């Protein structure tokens, strides 16, 4: 994303970083760092590991991720309490966090840096998607550099020195561009130097001093903030944070167990939640969480865990979801490690939250899929009415992404229907670059629609959507810091008209709203493809309860003749060129409405008309209707099937997916407005889904077939899923060209084989109509030599075999459930009792551990402890004699 620098930083010099790395006696090998219950992309370091090795792992990850803007790789680097004399950089999709109760429990004494070298001129405007949480940095140079833009939050950090929010371009001595960031619940002992950083939100933090500002610096509940001043310098200062619950975080208890700490709800606070005393709150044991891994988690297993009262902890990776994750229990926690991505594949929301108290969701990317979703994250169903003032739902560090890695589609990023919801650092991004980033390829209407009352957001970054970026229909809303670029790729003015008005305001407060307040609002234009004009950056009603403070418009770049004509409601001068300064930047200090509040709205919208239902496949019916009207404004439509509410829409169309072939369904639609008035039901429209038998299209070919010998008589197969125009119903497995079995999943175990024998396999996918795909690649494996043992328990299989002359491979495979962890207990006459966390082998579909010191003739006694649905179970003892 292109930004235009408004303030340059003159020659600045920095000292090089050099950390001395001592040896460690009795060190635990760093190879064990990613063998925990969190899977292979989470590295858990402790001070017994050689510091040079820990540093090497972190540096290797940075090498692969420095410029990997749209990579599918994800990593979390977690540090147990202690001091680490290491120095490393942090790239894309990397989450660095301490596992102490306090940030000072983990101290990295070399340096943790975000450089901006992969783009020219130290440009950090694309340094997105990374996170820093709950540790201290004692930089050997005296200064920590975090040159980032959106979606790179710093939380619960203690910087024992200075902090730079940009990087110097040493070829010119000027500051490289940087654009937008977030610091919360943190302490910086020295000076914070934004330099060329254009805008920034700091909440509940403190520092020695703050150096400068460029366009929009907002401070909420922070200590030693500069004096409120606008427009020069552009400092917006709110002394106290009205309501906050700091983000929950993973830590290790004094007993050495993993847990998640949930900070308490606090009001009217200033400064960090920690320091002289610990952060108040409660601890939740890790066994109350379903630990999701991309190789094993599905929408079905995740929803089963939610229904059972579990919290969710997503480990790094990409999660393809064919159903909505439904959060119906109050106080549910959903956290991500390593910036996991959730992608809905059937045009549904990725997550929907019931109208309940106290849900906490944070630390993830929710991406639009190829089938259009009405909303990607829905908080509360349409018409939610309960008050949650004493226990609000919080959403933290969420990226909504449409396009970039792939061309996705959605109408709205986040829809908030519940009252009292609090957002803390949200980036709602329609991609302006990357795969499928074009006006008709990755369409979205709005980043966020707020229908609930008394919703508060700290740090709303909302960019490039094709209509209003933000739509606010609820009363009592508050926004502290707003950064918004309107779309770059408008093809022409005619494509971007709001009736007779040029363009769609970025920040739109509905005419029915009588109370709303915002601080530090910046709206920026770069009309790259046409000379397009936007009439107003901000549109709000003219009522006394509407208050907008410290507003800025910027012309970043664009075609000659492009402009933002006004800042708010026809007020403010246009921005239209890079120079002079007044052509590039305009400001408005305070807007307070002066009109008379309207009478209460009791008039319902008109009835939606001409509802039609059209079956487009054996599993999907599309609905459309003529729009309703309202004396104030229609905010959406509720869709009913057979009298039951099944969804909502912000437009006059809806797609109902996941239906049964050759089945008739009937629908009605009702319109609603911001006051909660609901229209009469539309006419009833019915349609019958198409018959599956008419399907003649074969599924795609299964890919990446692998074969792994797990014993002398068993080979496990796995492959990547096929797709189909209607739906894949299963797979046929062939060995040597002969069918040997079927599977409804993407794995199969071929048993009863002969030891030391090679076997070759292929797989074909099939659908309900009987169409078969082409055969997959051929995968071969040779069964292990005889001499192993194994068997079947009540809900598991297990086994042991020789791995070398002095090693034994022990394995454990759950049957019909996903184990959160497995511990093997083993001993021989010459070994003491060993208790080892096993590692999950996703290819073989089992947990494994290779035991050393097991010689020929040794009798190995072993058993397993495993976790199922939050409870712990033990197997009987087994024995095996090594040949």
794 CB contacts (<8 Å, ≥6 apart)? none
CA atoms of 472 and 470, how far apart (whole Å) = 6
Calculate ∠ Cα 140-142-144, nearest 5°: 90
- Token pair, residue 344, equals 């809905």
Token couple for 857: 């003739």
Convert 74-101 into a string of H (helix), E (strand) and C (coil).
CEEEEECCEEECCEEECCCCEEEEECCC
Query: In degrees rounded to 5, what are phi and psi of residue 55?
Result: -60, -40
Asked if 575 and 564 touch (Cβ cutoff 8 Å), the reply is yes
Among 248, 419, 252, CA closest to 334:
248
Tokens of 234: 């552009």
**How many Cα atoms sit within 13 Å of 735 on the Cβ side?**
18
Q: What tokens appear for 180 in the block?
A: 């937008």
Structure tokens at 838: 């096993």
Q: Dig out the tokens for 400 from the structure.
A: 């909504």
Torsion, Cα 595 630 451 547, to 10 degrees, reads: -10
Q: Checking DSSP bridges between strand 182-184 and strand 154-159, what pairing results, if any?
A: parallel
Cα separation values, 657 from 36, 279, 767, Å: 38, 45, 17
Name the active-site residue from 133, 246, 466, 485: 485
Nearest CA among 38, 45, 31, 296 for reference residue 850 = 31
The strand pairing partners of 760, in sequence order, are 780
Cα 739 → chain centroid: 42
**Which neighbouring-strand residues pair with 608?**
none
Among 68, 161, 177, 46, which residue's Cα sits nearest to residue 113? Answer: 161
Contact 727, 767 (CB under 8 A): yes
How far CA 601 is from CA of 330, 515, 648, in Å, comes to 31, 15, 22
Instruction: Determine whether 535 is an active site residue.
Output: no
Q: Count the alpha carbons within 13 Å of 715 in the hemisphere toward its beta carbon.
A: 26
Where do runs of H (alpha helix) occur along 727-868? none
User: Using CA atoms, how far apart are residues 486 and 496, in angstroms rounded to an integer?
Assistant: 11
What amino acid positions are annotated as catalytic residues? 485
């Amino acid at each position: 994303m292109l930004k235009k620098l408004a303030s340059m930083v003159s020659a600045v010099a920095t000292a090089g970083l050099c950390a001395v790395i001592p040896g460690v006696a009795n060190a635990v090998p760093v190879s064990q760092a990613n063998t925990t219950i969190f899977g292979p992309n989470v590295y858990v370091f402790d001070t017994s590991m050689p510091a040079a090795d820990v540093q090497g792992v972190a540096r290797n990850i940075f090498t692969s991720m420095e410029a990997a803007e749209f990579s599918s790789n994800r990593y979390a680097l977690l540090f147990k309490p202690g001091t680490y004399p290491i120095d490393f950089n942090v790239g894309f999709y990397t989450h660095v966090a301490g596992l102490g109760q306090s940030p000072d429990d983990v101290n990295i004494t070399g340096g943790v840096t975000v450089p901006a070298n992969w783009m020219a001129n130290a440009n950090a405007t694309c340094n997105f998607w990374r996170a820093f949480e709950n540790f201290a940095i004692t930089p050997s140079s005296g200064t920590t550099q975090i040159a980032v833009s959106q979606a790179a939050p710093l939380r619960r950090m203690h910087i024992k020195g200075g902090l730079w929010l940009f990087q110097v371009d040493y070829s010119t001595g000027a500051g490289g561009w940087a654009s937008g960031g977030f610091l919360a619940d943190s302490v910086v002992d020295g000076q914070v130097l934004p330099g060329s950083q254009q805008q920034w939100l700091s909440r509940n933090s403190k520092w020695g001093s703050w150096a400068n500002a460029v366009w929009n610096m907002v401070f909420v509940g922070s200590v030693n903030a500069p004096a409120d001043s606008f427009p020069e310098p552009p400092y917006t200062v709110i002394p106290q944070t009205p309501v906050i619950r700091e983000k929950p975080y993973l830590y290790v208890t004094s007993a050495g167990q993993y847990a998640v700490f949930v900070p308490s709800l606090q009001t009217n606070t200033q400064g960090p939640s920690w320091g002289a005393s610990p952060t108040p709150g409660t601890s939740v044991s890790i066994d109350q969480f379903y630990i999701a891994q991309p190789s094993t988690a599905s929408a079905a297993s995740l929803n089963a865990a939610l229904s059972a009262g579990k919290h969710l902890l997503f480990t790094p990776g990409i999660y393809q979801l064919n159903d909505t994750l439904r959060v119906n229990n109050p106080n549910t926690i959903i956290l991500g490690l390593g910036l996991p991505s959730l992608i809905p594949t059937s045009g549904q929301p990725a997550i929907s939250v019931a109208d309940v108290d106290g849900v906490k969701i944070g630390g993830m990317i929710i991406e639009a899929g190829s089938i259009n979703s009405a909303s990607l994250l829905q908080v509360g169903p349409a018409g939610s009415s309960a008050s949650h003032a004493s226990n609000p739902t919080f959403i933290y560090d969420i990226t909504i992404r449409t396009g970039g890695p792939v061309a996705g589609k959605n109408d709205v990023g986040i829809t908030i229907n519940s009252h009292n919801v609090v957002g803390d650092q949200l980036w709602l991004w329609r991609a302006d670059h990357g795969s499928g980033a074009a006006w008709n390829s990755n369409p979205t209407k709005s980043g966020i629609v707020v229908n609930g009352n008394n919703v508060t957001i700290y740090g709303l970054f909302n960019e490039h959507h094709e209509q209003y970026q933000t739509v606010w229909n609820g009363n009592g809303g508050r926004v502290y810091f707003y950064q918004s670029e309107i779309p770059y790729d408008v093809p022409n003015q005619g494509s971007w008209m709001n009736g007779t008005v040029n363009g769609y305001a970025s920040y739109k407060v509905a005419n029915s709203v009588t109370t709303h307040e915002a601080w530090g609002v910046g709206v920026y234009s770069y009309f790259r493809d046409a000379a397009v004009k936007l009439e107003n950056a901000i549109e709000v009603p003219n009522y006394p309860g509407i208050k907008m403070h410290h507003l800025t418009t910027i012309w970043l770049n664009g075609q000659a003749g492009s402009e933002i004509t006004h800042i708010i409601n026809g007020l403010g001068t246009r921005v239209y060129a890079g120079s002079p300064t007044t052509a590039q930047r305009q400001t408005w200090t305070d807007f307070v409405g002066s009109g008379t509040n309207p009478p209460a709205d009791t008039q319902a919208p008109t009835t939606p008309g001409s509802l039609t239902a059209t079956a487009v496949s054996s599993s999907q019916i599309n609905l459309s209707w003529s729009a309703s009207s309202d004396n104030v404004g229609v905010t959406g439509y509720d869709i009913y099937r057979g009298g039951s509410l099944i969804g909502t829409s912000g437009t006059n169309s809806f797609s109902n997916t996941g239906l049964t072939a050759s089945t008739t369904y009937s629908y009605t639609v009702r319109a609603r407005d911001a006051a909660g008035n609901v229209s009469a039901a539309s006419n009833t429209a019915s349609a019958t889904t198409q018959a599956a038998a008419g399907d003649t299209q074969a599924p795609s070919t299964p890919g990446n077939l692998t074969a792994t010998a797990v014993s002398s008589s068993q080979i496990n197969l796995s492959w990547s899923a096929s797709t189909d125009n209607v739906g894949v119903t299963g797979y046929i497995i062939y060995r040597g060209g002969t069918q040997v079995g079927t599977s409804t999943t993407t794995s199969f175990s071929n048993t009863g084989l002969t030891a030391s024998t090679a076997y070759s396999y292929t797989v074909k996918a099939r659908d309900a109509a009987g169409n078969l795909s082409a055969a997959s690649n051929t995968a071969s494996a040779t069964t292990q030599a005889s001499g192993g043992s194994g068997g079947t328990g009540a809900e598991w299989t297990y086994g042991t075999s020789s791995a070398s002359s002095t090693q034994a491979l022990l394995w454990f495979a759950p049957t019909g459930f996903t184990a959160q962890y497995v511990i093997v207990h083993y001993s021989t006459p010459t070994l003491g009792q060993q208790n080892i966390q096993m590692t999950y082998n996703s290819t073989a579909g089992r947990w494994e551990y290779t035991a050393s010191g097991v010689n020929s003739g040794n009798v190995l006694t072993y058993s397993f402890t495993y976790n199922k649905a939050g409870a712990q179970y033990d197997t009987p003892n087994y024995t095996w004699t090594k040949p």
